[in-house]
Amino acid sequence: MIPSLGILLAGVRRSRHAIAKTTPVSALAALLFLAAATFWLLFLGPLRSPHTTLSSGASTHGLGATSCDTTLGEWVRDPAGARPHYTNATCAFIQDYQNCMKHGRPSLDFLQWRWRPDGGPGCELPRFDAARFFRIVRGKSILFVGDSLASSHVTSLVCTLSEAEIPTRRSADGFEHWRFPAHDFAVSFFWTPFQVRWRLTSGPPAAVGPDRQGEVFAGPNDLHLDEPEERWMPAAKENDYVVVSASHWFARPAVYYRRGQAVGCHGCATTDGNVTALPPRYAQRAAFRTVLRALAGLDGFKGTAILRTVAPTHYANGGWFDGGECPDTQPLDRDETADMAEPEGGFYRAQLEEFRAAEEEARKNGVRLRLMDVTRIMLRRPDGHPDRYGHGAGDHGGFDIDCLHWCLPGPIDVWNELLLQIMSG
């Protein structure tokens, strides 16, 4: 039933020549899509996975409880940080494409940094404290909804918490669940690259044989921008925290719908020329508007909805398909300007604006809406990706150099500190 990773990726490889000739946006889309395909496989398969999320921007919290903005700061050397909360020996949930240590990453220097927000005393981001986290979340649950980067955050969180208690894991109805019975806490993950209702035009993977998986993933998507995906939204109100984040897949070719009518498309060779070309940021913004408003007004939901902002990629000298790489071995220091590539910059701006636009309604309905702004923090970590250490020799399955995902353990672990900060607020 479940196609092998090799087959999935082989399918993707088949389509990469077309992609390589097109724009960087398409390339990124393909990359993400590939990442998601990998993820999808892991998600369906017997492995564990995921997670994503978070970060801050206290000034945009809505509560105004603090005056410092944790998104501004710098990565500083911290030898204590060299002792990560987990390794591939203590946490069995790390997936292969995140397991940079297993694949021989030559230096672990990338673990010896911590994020120090500007603002001095009162504005620190303390090292993650599992005991404190578990005190806050006792009797509660958190749901992460998103793509492979969301999955990576879930893995990071679950691995970090494993220091205190090893969770049980099970899959059901498209969800993955981790339980920490001693601390009465549950983590769930639902994989969706768009959050709104979507469909691969060529049909779901289950509808075709393994030899056609690549075509399925390469096909354009139908995105219903005004409809939250009904597979996860009902589960939201059963959780105390819901973290939404997906962005990267919006760069892929898609036809956009509102009220069931096609209103535009991106990267689509329309045959009849009737559909207006629209940029990915149009769809990504619309999807976040839909989902944030749905959570803000969700009947029976009185929890906290968290928007985790886009985590930037760091491809240089090309893309994933033509030798692009992420050769940096250190974080950018504060004097180095870090420019965000498009469409990621536009995705980030749209998230900030849609977050603000949804705040009022959330407040009226008693829903806490919080921003976990990781974008500028991660922009300064071009050294934190798997690079060529996301797979074994000759086993890259089309994803030779990965400057999109993050090594685990790695800089993505700071997202848990941001999450704890939001929960404490």
31 lies in the binding site for ligand NAG (CB under 6 A)? no
Task: For the beta carbon of residue 323, count every other beta carbon within 10 angstroms.
Answer: 11
306 lies in the binding site for ligand NAG (CB under 6 A)? no
Examine the residue annotation and report whether 183 is marked as an active-site residue of this protein.
no
x/- mask, ligand NAG, residues 221-260, rule CB under 6 A, reads ----------------------------------------
330 lies in the binding site for ligand NAG (CB under 6 A)? no
Least distance from ligand NAG to the Cβ atom of residue 104, Å: 7
H-helix or E-strand spanning residue 160: helix 148-161
Cα(267)–Cα(26) distance, integer angstroms = 8
Q: Is 160 exposed, middle or buried (0-12, 13-18, 19+ CB in 10 A)?
A: buried
Inter-residue contact 399 to 9 (CB < 8 Å): yes
Residue with tokens 């990504």: 284
Examine the residue annotation and report whether 222 is marked as an active-site residue of this protein.
no
Q: Which stretch binds ligand NAG (CB under 6 A): 74-82, 99-107, 130-138, 339-347?
A: 99-107
Inter-residue contact 374 to 306 (CB < 8 Å): no
261 lies in the binding site for ligand NAG (CB under 6 A)? no
Cα(369)–Cα(298) distance, integer angstroms = 12
Kindly write down the DSSP assignment for every residue of 174-197, as one continuous string: TEEEEEEGGGTEEEEEEE-SSSEE
Could you say which of 28, 101, 196, 326 contacts ligand NAG (CB under 6 A)? 101
Selecting among 153, 266, 385, 405, the annotated active-site residue is 405
Phi-psi region of 161 (alpha: psi -120 to 50; beta: other; left: phi over 0): alpha
H-helix or E-strand spanning residue 270: none
Least distance from ligand NAG to the Cβ atom of residue 384, Å: 17
Least distance from ligand NAG to the Cβ atom of residue 101, Å: 4
272 lies in the binding site for ligand NAG (CB under 6 A)? yes
Query: Which residue's CB is nearer to ligand NAG, number 296 or number 407?
Result: 407
Examine the residue annotation and report whether 272 is marked as an active-site residue of this protein.
no
Cα(377)–Cα(57) distance, integer angstroms = 11
Task: Return the axis-axis angle of helices 280-296 and 344-365, rounded to nearest 10°.
Answer: 20
Phi and psi angles of residue 244, each rounded to the nearest 5 degrees, phi first? -110, 150
47 lies in the binding site for ligand NAG (CB under 6 A)? no
Could you say which of 88, 90, 171, 365 contacts ligand NAG (CB under 6 A)? 88
HSE toward the beta carbon, residue 12, CA cutoff 13 A: 25
Selecting among 26, 56, 141, 148, the annotated active-site residue is 148
Query: Which residue's CB is nearer to ligand NAG, number 65 or number 89?
Result: 89
269 lies in the binding site for ligand NAG (CB under 6 A)? no
Q: Which stretch binds ligand NAG (CB under 6 A): 18-26, 95-103, 198-206, 361-369?
A: 95-103
299 lies in the binding site for ligand NAG (CB under 6 A)? no
H-helix or E-strand spanning residue 285: helix 280-296
Q: Which stretch binds ligand NAG (CB under 6 A): 35-43, 97-105, 122-130, 344-352?
A: 97-105
Least distance from ligand NAG to the Cβ atom of residue 140, Å: 31
274 lies in the binding site for ligand NAG (CB under 6 A)? yes
HEC states along 318-383? CCCCCCCECCCCCCCCCCCCCCCCCCHHHHHHHHHHHHHHHHHHHHHHCCEEEEECCHHHHHCCCC
Could you say which of 95, 99, 309, 313 contacts ligand NAG (CB under 6 A)? 99
Query: Which residue's CB is nearer to ligand NAG, number 107 or number 274?
Result: 274
Which residues are near ligand NAG by CB under 6 A?
Answer: 88-89, 99, 101-102, 272, 274
Residues with active-site annotation = 148, 402, 405
